[in-house]
Structure 1
Amino acid sequence: MTGAEELSRLAGLYGVATSYSPAPDRVVTASATAVTRALAALGVDVSDPAAALAAREHALRERLLPPTVVCWGGAAPAALDDLPDGTRLRVRTEQGETRTSVAQLPPGVHRLTAHAPDGRVAEAHLVAAPARLPVPGERSYGVLVQLYSLLSRRSWGMGDLGDLAELTAWAGRALGAGFVQVNPLHAGVPGAPTDPSPYRPSSRRFPDPVHLRVEDVPEYGRVADRERLRALGDRARLLREAVLEKGALIDRDAVWELKKEALELVREVPLGPGRRAAYADFLAEQGEALEDHATWCALAEIHGTDRSRWPAALRDPRSAGTARARAELMDRVDFHGWLAWLTDGQLVDAQRAARDAGMPVGVIHDLAVGVHPGGADAWAQQQYFATGMSVGAPPDAFNARGQDWGLPPWRPDRLAESGYAPYRQLLRALFRYAGALRIDHVMGLFRLWWVPEGEAPTDGTYVRYDAEAMLAVLVLEASRAGAVVIGEDLGTVEPGVRETLRERGVLGTSVLWFERDWDGDGRPLPPDRWRADCLATATTHDLPSTAARLTGEHVELRHRLDLLTRDLAVERAEAAADTGEWLELLSRLGLLHGTAGGHGDSAEEAEIQAVHRFLLRTPARLVGVWLPDTVGDRRPQNLPGTWDQYPNWRLPVADADGKPVTLEELASSPRLHALVEVLRGPGERAGE
């Protein structure tokens, strides 16, 4: 066996790919640098591949059990099939029982011990999950919105959790909506300026207090310094008016500066006995994870967010130096723990408002694919992250240079050894207040593209995760919460992934413009050929609004920003042809006609309504409408491939003329209500 063959076999035993297939008829060899760097990040000494291979093969031969095994629906784990005859098993369940059989275990993460006849003993985590999640029975429609972009007349310069509760109550009661999907509300990394992207958070485990509605904190009304509080309110009003009336961008940092000052005042008000007991319960329940998060926040206030510049003793969350610093900064640590409690409470209130309004699903929260390398999670859970690697995407038809998202990947080996503890804790925290959870880049449960630090995204490779275990934990935690799970499975998806997700009750994501007969003539896919187990939409936060696509404005925007790679006329013609094919299908199906409700007959409104009539013709279990589409917004919330050329993640919802629209104005918009009449209409499912 040559050295290259030994390295390839070694990589395979650790789940590191040495090649990948961007298309069924094409195989690309991964760079040797990516393979060796990925192995090194997994703790493998690649200086002598032959020795490392022999050691790995020996360890696998001698191993009785993998670190985590899975059983679905009460069946025995397949991982036990190869145990030697006569092996005795003992299970210590999560509920505290001891059993000698692995069949019909209660749902949970249990401890399995195996005693082989030859004297070997092994322990493993055993994830017992329901066979699948129940999917929504009756179809419902809902709205999709980036929360920061939805300002009301009470907002402090950006949408907040009070606005979310108001939106869910209105959409459920007045519009008959079944859900509201929002962007990730994870804690951001403070900075100057803060990275506005909600998909590169400091922590996915804890929410960001910038979303708090300060006035809704019970102690707000008893703040002693009313004059200072009024002054802060006046400054907040100016921030709001700057966005709504003067064309200013949403300034997250300015909003947080005001809210933080106001919350410092609120914190001076003593908690009553009941509130103090509730806070104490929250601290106890969240435990070390919250203590770590709050400690990082307190340390970052002093030392900044680049922990490589922190004193060496503070770079380890378990060091004696960190313990001393935590004690010295206990007041600030408690402040950040208190903020997490307040934010959690308002998130729970928003979901309660949704359910009280009759929504069968409620708030759909979004789980980002990773975290910022300089944030709280990367510091507190550093043993679970692969050093020197970043998550991204390989080159594809849409991006020939590949992508590097700047997110450190989880180590699959460490996750398995822990029984997926950080992943379980993360999901459990989110399901506290989610009626459903959208998993960004759900393909990451199966494999992720790892890019070595300092290398181009093209020079990465795939690293595989134990998808069965990751999926079992997800199904377990979602079932405990009675929540729906939606996987964002757009783009390149390896064979079998969508089928596996569907088998376990995880819905997919289908976006109209991408639904074509790719195995045939490439034309738009008729509604009866769409999958049922999905959330069907016309667009997302990363794509042009429906109005922009129908009018070709998305091409003009990219032209103005010098982002086109081909001649403008070619781009215009291709976009027009794509749109034209869809409009022809809509017309042929009899879906393209005057606007509903007699509120005007503009071609654009009629086309947007026809798009949503089409979505109702599909068998999709959930149908989502992008809230900016209800008022004709032209601007995308995020334009991939841009940084400072475009105000990503900083735009308020606006009408066709670019004028910001408040939540109150949305509620009285004739254009919105005309579209809602379409969505609430009888609709025609495929085959009916």
Structure 2
Amino acid sequence: SPYRPSSRRFPDPVHLRVEDVPEFARAEDRARLDALLERAARLREGVLEKGALIDRDAVWEAKRAALELVLEVPLDPARRAAYDAFLAREGQALEDHATWCALAEVHGPAWRRWPRGLRDPRSEETARARHALRDRVDLHRRLAWLTDTQLTAAQRTAREAGMPVGIVHDLAVGVHPDGADAWAQQEFFAAGMSVGAPPDAFNARGQDWGLPPWRPDRLAASGYAPYRMLLRALFGYAGALRIDHVMGLFRLWWVPEGRSPTEGTYVRYDAEAMLAVLVLEASRAGAVVIGEDLGTVEPGVRERLRARGVLGTSVLWFERDWEGDGRPLPPQSWRADCLATATTHDLPPTAARLTGEHVELRDRLGLSTRPLAEERAEAAADTAEWRDVLSGLGLTDGEGGEEADIRAVHRFLLRTPARMVGVWLPDGVGDRRPQNLPGTSDEYPNWRLPVADVDGRPVTLEELTASPRVRALLEVLREEAAGS
């Protein structure tokens, strides 16, 4: 998933638009390419059927086959020079990444089960295998280059279109334990440990995310080299970077392998050093940094982030006067240095929150720790209280109903002093399904749900841009922003 990737430094080439690769037009086997395009069209059609899920493996199988044909085309001199420059810039890190990809094709993706000699990226066995698989290694180097090129072009296009920030990219907390980064950077990861979260109001059982943590001692000894190079790569095509669980720059909840998240403990990092590297790389790139500081946040963290220009994240439903009467915070009392949103990828869409469907879902999946009636009553009271606030501020447009409530929520966000306001795309069409449900793996189709309308019917990009409901919500943003 995007929050448990094989690599954080090299983006997944499944996102490549094959037709935009310059060599695509010169590929010789047009019949084979046409057949693959037809297969891709069938996959899209299947997703658009109600209830269908995104099959990322099938998408990658079709794209990989097409890319293999496209990459048979020789690069012209200018493209070859650009590729060679990319190889020189990325160096050993790219070589390791491409080697893992080639070895995974032969031995499977779980490198801990590979032949013993191949588990070490610096062994003689790995060097021999890299040479034997040199064509596949080069293919994966080319894919990394193409992905970097298309992401850079996307950011450039956004800026040229008048977007002052452009594209906001995301930095996950960690990587998959069997992935490329964990293999190539073994000396920096703590063996037998996983990152998670202690029990909190959102998840009383705690969380185990299955991500190996970086060792703070090894990071410091290296001068934070892997962290610095990771940030430098991401800022190369980002106008802003959102850091998931930004508290991890200060401390992380380590869970021993095979133990419950409740048996974990906090391990501290040198926050001054981590922040210094982050601020330096962001400043060099002229980029904004947004930290997701939700959940258990130790005292002083938000203040230290703010002092360095790192924005926080404020979600409407959590913004209450917790030190006073517990009532919803009025918009003028919100912090300015934040991204203000109604939800996130880990939380229910606004429509689900308003209807209470998120409570029913958590109960069906066994994630609730209290009787369903109690959870329903608490959620209903919370929603009613916020509705009263929105109505009292005159933010509803008199129409009533779900769409009007969602527009009112965003009017509220725009009344706060927050420097940025985020809109969750599914809120624009009334999707009620969370994209990711923490605490689940096979129980819920995390990261495989296409954006769908209020009836659960997946919608295309073209339908989204033409949606009257989306346009009505964006008009609220334009009106409020113009008047503020």
State the TM-score, normalizing by the size of structure 1: 0.69
Query: Take 1:209 and 1:305, find their aligned partners in 2: how far apart are those partners?
Result: 16
Residues 267-282 of structure 1: pairs in structure 2 closer than 5 A: 267-282=71-86
Query: Take 2:365 and 2:296, find their aligned partners in 1: how far apart are those partners?
Result: 27
Partner of 1:139: none
How big is each residue's C-alpha offset from its partner over 1:307-342, in whole Å with a ceiling of 9 and x where there is no partner? Answer: 222222211111111111111111010000000000
Give the secondary-structure state (helix, strand or coil) at the position aligned to 1:634.
Answer: coil
Q: Does 1:669 align with 2:467?
A: yes
Partner of 2:385: 581
Residues 470-619 of structure 1: pairs in structure 2 closer than 5 A: 470-594=274-398, 601-619=399-417
Deviation (angstroms), 1:683:
4.2
Deviation (angstroms), 1:400:
3.0
Partner of 1:433: 237
Partner of 1:406: 210
Partner of 1:112: none
Do 2:316 and 2:341's aligned partners in 1 also have CA atoms closer than 8 Å?
yes
Q: Does 1:321 align with 2:107?
A: no
Q: Does 1:460 align with 2:264?
A: yes
Query: Take 1:353 and 1:212, find their aligned partners in 2: how far apart are those partners?
Result: 16
Q: Does 1:655 align with 2:459?
A: no
How big is each residue's C-alpha offset from its partner over 1:223-256, in whole Å with a ceiling of 9 and x where there is no partner? Answer: 1111111111111111000001353200000000
Partner of 1:629: 427
Select which of 349, 359, 363 maps to 2:163: 359
Query: Take 2:253 and 2:418, find their aligned partners in 1: how far apart are those partners?
Result: 30
How big is each residue's C-alpha offset from its partner over 1:199-221, in whole Å with a ceiling of 9 and x where there is no partner? Answer: 11111110000000011101111
Query: Take 1:642 and 1:649, find their aligned partners in 2: how far apart are those partners?
Result: 12
Do 2:50 and 2:456's aligned partners in 1 also have CA atoms closer than 8 Å?
no
State the TM-score, normalizing by the size of structure 2: 0.98
Deviation (angstroms), 1:362:
0.8
Select which of 32, 50, 55 maps to 1:228: 32
Deviation (angstroms), 1:646:
1.7
Task: Compare 311-320 and 426-435 and name the one that shifted more.
Answer: 311-320
Query: Take 1:429 and 1:224, find their aligned partners in 2: how far apart are those partners?
Result: 34
Give the secondary-structure state (helix, strand or coil) at the position aligned to 2:290.
Answer: strand
Do 1:535 and 1:621's aligned partners in 2 also have CA atoms closer than 8 Å?
yes
Do 2:6 and 2:181's aligned partners in 1 also have CA atoms closer than 8 Å?
yes
Task: Name whichever structure is richer in helix by fraction.
Answer: 2
How big is each residue's C-alpha offset from its partner over 1:530-575, in whole Å with a ceiling of 9 and x where there is no partner? Answer: 0000000000111111111111221232344344333322222111
Residues 124-523 of structure 1: pairs in structure 2 closer than 5 A: 197-523=1-327
Query: Take 1:527 and 1:493, find their aligned partners in 2: how far apart are those partners?
Result: 22
Query: Take 2:338 and 2:209, find their aligned partners in 1: how far apart are those partners?
Result: 26
Query: Take 1:552 and 1:405, find their aligned partners in 2: how far apart are those partners?
Result: 26
Give the secondary-structure state (helix, strand or coil) at the position aligned to 2:439.
Answer: coil
Do 1:362 and 1:434's aligned partners in 2 also have CA atoms closer than 8 Å?
yes
Letter in 2 for 1:478: A
Give the secondary-structure state (helix, strand or coil) at the position aligned to 1:399.
Answer: coil
How big is each residue's C-alpha offset from its partner over 1:238-281, in whole Å with a ceiling of 9 and x where there is no partner? Answer: 10000013532000000000000000100111111111111111
Give the secondary-structure state (helix, strand or coil) at the position aligned to 1:207.
Answer: coil
Deviation (angstroms), 1:282:
0.4
How big is each residue's C-alpha offset from its partner over 1:587-620, in whole Å with a ceiling of 9 and x where there is no partner? Answer: 11111123xxxxxx45111111110000010000
Query: Take 1:247 and 1:630, find their aligned partners in 2: how far apart are those partners?
Result: 19
How big is each residue's C-alpha offset from its partner over 1:443-493, in whole Å with a ceiling of 9 and x where there is no partner? Answer: 000011111222221222111111000000000000000000000000110
Do 1:384 and 1:410's aligned partners in 2 also have CA atoms closer than 8 Å?
yes
Query: Take 2:400 and 2:392, find their aligned partners in 1: how far apart are those partners?
Result: 19
Q: Highest relative contact order (Cα 8 Å, sep 6+), 1 or 2?
A: 1
Do 1:200 and 1:371's aligned partners in 2 also have CA atoms closer than 8 Å?
yes
Task: Compare 383-392 and 464-473 and name the one that shifted more.
Answer: 383-392
| CA 1:682–1:403: 2 relative to 1, 3 Å | closer
Query: Take 1:683 and 1:205, find their aligned partners in 2: how far apart are those partners?
Result: 35
Do 2:200 and 2:295's aligned partners in 1 also have CA atoms closer than 8 Å?
no
Letter in 2 for 1:206: F
| CA 1:682–1:406: 2 relative to 1, 3 Å | closer
How big is each residue's C-alpha offset from its partner over 1:72-128, in whole Å with a ceiling of 9 and x where there is no partner? Answer: xxxxxxxxxxxxxxxxxxxxxxxxxxxxxxxxxxxxxxxxxxxxxxxxxxxxxxxxx
Partner of 1:679: 477
Structure 1: which 4+ aligned runs deviate by more than 4 Å?
none
Do 2:193 and 2:255's aligned partners in 1 also have CA atoms closer than 8 Å?
yes
Give the secondary-structure state (helix, strand or coil) at the position aligned to 2:294.
Answer: coil
How big is each residue's C-alpha offset from its partner over 1:34-74, in whole Å with a ceiling of 9 and x where there is no partner? Answer: xxxxxxxxxxxxxxxxxxxxxxxxxxxxxxxxxxxxxxxxx
Letter in 2 for 1:638: N
Query: Take 1:573 and 1:217, find their aligned partners in 2: how far apart are those partners?
Result: 54
Query: Take 1:454 and 1:560, find their aligned partners in 2: how far apart are those partners?
Result: 26
Letter in 2 for 1:572: R
Deviation (angstroms), 1:684:
8.7
Do 1:616 and 1:684's aligned partners in 2 also have CA atoms closer than 8 Å?
no
Query: Take 1:553 and 1:451, find their aligned partners in 2: how far apart are those partners?
Result: 31
Deviation (angstroms), 1:399:
2.7
Letter in 2 for 1:345: T
Do 1:617 and 1:684's aligned partners in 2 also have CA atoms closer than 8 Å?
no
The structure with the larger Rg is 1
Query: Take 2:48 and 2:377, find their aligned partners in 1: how far apart are those partners?
Result: 35
Query: Take 1:393 and 1:249, find their aligned partners in 2: how far apart are those partners?
Result: 29
Q: Give the paired residue count.
A: 484
Letter in 1 for 2:186: Q
Give the secondary-structure state (helix, strand or coil) at the position aligned to 2:423.
Answer: strand
Letter in 2 for 1:564: S
Which runs of 5 or more structure 1 residues have no equivalent in the other structure? 1-196, 595-600
Query: Take 1:549 and 1:206, find their aligned partners in 2: how far apart are those partners?
Result: 35
Do 2:207 and 2:439's aligned partners in 1 also have CA atoms closer than 8 Å?
no
Task: Name whichever structure is richer in strand by fraction.
Answer: 1
How big is each residue's C-alpha offset from its partner over 1:362-401, in whole Å with a ceiling of 9 and x where there is no partner? Answer: 1111100011111111111111111121111122233333
Query: Take 1:310 and 1:531, find their aligned partners in 2: how far apart are those partners?
Result: 50
Partner of 1:646: 444
Query: Take 1:333 and 1:405, find their aligned partners in 2: how far apart are those partners?
Result: 30
- Cα RMSD, aligned residues only: 1.3
Give the secondary-structure state (helix, strand or coil) at the position aligned to 1:204.
Answer: coil
Query: Take 2:454 and 2:423, find their aligned partners in 1: how far apart are those partners?
Result: 16
